[in-house]
């Protein structure tokens, strides 16, 4: 555990609502712990590479499963480590001792638990414990709230299996942290957008969306803001702390697709009612449409001292005007 973690555990915050404005009151901000001696990123994809770039002067290793991903990490100055979270034998001798660990690897695609997280935790030698672990979870653990506000004290109620797997991983990790005295920080993240993460292919294929007055409330965050939040969580997140991560904008799924279509200069997708959606949309998309909630992000802004670079979808898209957008809808963090 980093020095000052006990002070952070004693610190509490009152959530007042959503915001996309910077929060400057140092009285609410958690004290910073010293920077780590090393960083290990489990599942070092797009977000992992963005996070690694922010730890200048600190050795960063990234765990990936493929040779191509390992080669990509090498070119960005990240030390690649190849392992398979489905094969516990490959997880021996990871550089974990006193390291800051980011766990960004997704769970398996089926089931309601995350055996990959269990394999990782079982591979940790109690004599070589990491200093802290930051985990990217999902806002889906709250389930459908009918568009109501949720904060970190809202009881989880995951209703889709993908959210149940994430909540299982949260619980495993928190139990581990409490048993071994390792500071664990959970980030419950909404939809991630940014370069390489826009639904261009879906829009080009003219896949319909639900009428806006029927659309669920959604929460999102720009990939670069998520990266800076991951760094802030490592420095100021309280042990066993949970933080909702979104830009605080009150929006819905249909508005998102229409705004991105306008940005990409593509036709807006056709709008349909629920009856047609049940017939024509995928089971995965329907499961998203059937959940609606708004996330209170005040704890993130206050305790972590985050000032969002892209506080709205419009500012995030405007910054991407010079980017070449390639379809990459499901890349893991």
pLDDT tens string 79-101: 999 999 999 999 999 999 999 99
Q: Please tell me the predicted confidence (pLDDT) of residue 15.
A: 38
Residue 19 confidence class, pLDDT cut points 50, 70, 90: low
Give the percent of the chain with pLDDT over 70. 88
Tens of pLDDT, residues 240-268 = 999 999 999 999 999 999 999 999 999 99
Q: Please tell me the predicted confidence (pLDDT) of residue 27.
A: 64
Residue 8 confidence class, pLDDT cut points 50, 70, 90: very low
Tens of pLDDT, residues 91-148 = 999 999 999 999 999 999 999 999 999 999 999 999 999 999 999 999 999 999 999 9
**Domain membership flag for residue 204:** no
**Domain membership flag for residue 76:** yes
**Domain membership flag for residue 333:** no
Are the CB atoms for 290 and 185 separated by under 8 Å? no
Q: Please tell me the predicted confidence (pLDDT) of residue 315.
A: 96
Which residues contact residue 203 at a Cβ distance below 8 angstroms, ignoring those fewer than 6 apart?
257, 260, 261, 264, 266, 267, 269
Range 33-54 average pLDDT: 97
Residue 26 confidence class, pLDDT cut points 50, 70, 90: low
**Domain membership flag for residue 262:** no
Range 286-294 average pLDDT: 95
Residue 220 confidence class, pLDDT cut points 50, 70, 90: very high
**302 pLDDT more than 50:** yes
Phi, psi of 40, rounded to the nearest 5 degrees? -125, 125
- Other Cβ atoms less than 10 A from the Cβ of 66: the count is 10
Whole-angstrom Cα distance, residue 277 to residue 285? 9
- The whole-angstrom distance between residue 123's C-alpha and the CA centroid of its chain comes to 23
Are the CB atoms for 162 and 213 separated by under 8 Å? no
Range 212-232 average pLDDT: 97
Whole-angstrom Cα distance, residue 213 to residue 202? 21
Range 5-13 average pLDDT: 36
DSSP H helices in 14-86: 46-53, 67-75
**Helix or strand holding residue 279 (H, E):** helix 274-280
Closest C-alpha among 77, 76, 100, 105 to residue 90: 105
Angle between helices 115-122 and 161-180 (to 10 degrees): 20
Are the CB atoms for 232 and 265 separated by under 8 Å? no
Q: Please tell me the predicted confidence (pLDDT) of residue 24.
A: 52
Residue 321 confidence class, pLDDT cut points 50, 70, 90: confident
CA distances to 48, 103, 108, 241 from 63, in Å: 10, 10, 17, 24
Closest C-alpha among 81, 36, 33 to residue 58: 36
- Other Cβ atoms less than 10 A from the Cβ of 19: the count is 18
Q: Which domain holds residue 91?
A: 5-199+221-252+295-315
**Domain membership flag for residue 241:** yes
**Domain membership flag for residue 307:** yes
**Domain membership flag for residue 11:** yes
Higher pLDDT: 11 or 159? It is 159
Give the percent of the chain with pLDDT over 90. 88
**284 pLDDT more than 80:** yes
Q: How high is the mean pLDDT of the chain?
A: 91
Q: Please tell me the predicted confidence (pLDDT) of residue 74.
A: 95
**305 pLDDT more than 70:** yes
**14 pLDDT more than 50:** no
Closest C-alpha among 90, 101, 121 to residue 48: 101
CATH at 301: 3.40.50.720
The tally of domains found in the chain comes to 1
**Domain membership flag for residue 265:** no
Angle between helices 223-236 and 46-53 (to 10 degrees): 60
Q: Please tell me the predicted confidence (pLDDT) of residue 16.
A: 43
Q: Please tell me the predicted confidence (pLDDT) of residue 28.
A: 82
Whole-angstrom Cα distance, residue 288 to residue 321? 28
Tens of pLDDT, residues 165-178 = 999 999 999 999 99
Whole-angstrom Cα distance, residue 160 to residue 158? 6
């Amino acid at each position: 555990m980093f020095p000052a973690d006990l002070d952070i555990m004693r610190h509490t915050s009152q959530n007042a609502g959503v915001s996309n404005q910077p929060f400057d009151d140092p009285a609410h901000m958690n004290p910073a712990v010293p920077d780590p001696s090393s960083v290990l990123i489990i599942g070092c994809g797009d977000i992992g590479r963005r996070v690694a770039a922010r730890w200048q002067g600190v050795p960063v290793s990234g765990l990936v499963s493929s040779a191509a991903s390992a080669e990509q990490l090498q070119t960005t100055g990240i030390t690649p480590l190849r392992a398979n979270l489905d094969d516990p034998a490959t997880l021996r001798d990871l550089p974990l001792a006193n390291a800051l660990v980011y766990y960004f690897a997704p769970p398996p695609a089926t089931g309601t638990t995350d055996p990959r997280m269990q394999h990782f935790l079982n591979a940790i030698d109690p004599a070589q414990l990491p200093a802290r672990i930051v985990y990217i979870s999902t806002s889906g653990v709250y389930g459908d709230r009918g568009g109501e506000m949720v904060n970190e004290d809202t009881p989880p109620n995951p209703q889709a299996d993908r959210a149940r797997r994430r909540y299982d991983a949260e619980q495993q990790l928190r139990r581990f942290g409490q048993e071994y005295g390792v500071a664990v920080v959970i980030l419950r993240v909404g939809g991630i957008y940014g370069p390489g993460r826009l639904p261009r292919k879906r829009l080009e294929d003219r896949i319909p969306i639900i009428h806006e007055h029927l659309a669920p409330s959604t929460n999102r965050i720009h990939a670069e803001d998520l990266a800076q939040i991951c760094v802030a969580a490592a420095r100021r997140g309280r042990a066993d702390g949970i933080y909702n991560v979104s830009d605080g904008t009150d929006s819905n799924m249909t508005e998102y697709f229409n705004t991105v279509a306008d940005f990409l200069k593509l036709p807006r997708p056709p709008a349909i009612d629920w009856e047609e959606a049940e017939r024509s949309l995928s089971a995965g998309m329907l499961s998203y449409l059937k959940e609606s909630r708004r996330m209170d992000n005040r704890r993130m802004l206050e305790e972590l001292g985050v000032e969002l670079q892209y506080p709205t979808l419009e500012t995030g898209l405007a910054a991407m005007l010079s980017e070449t957008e390639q379809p990459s809808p499901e890349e893991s963090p």
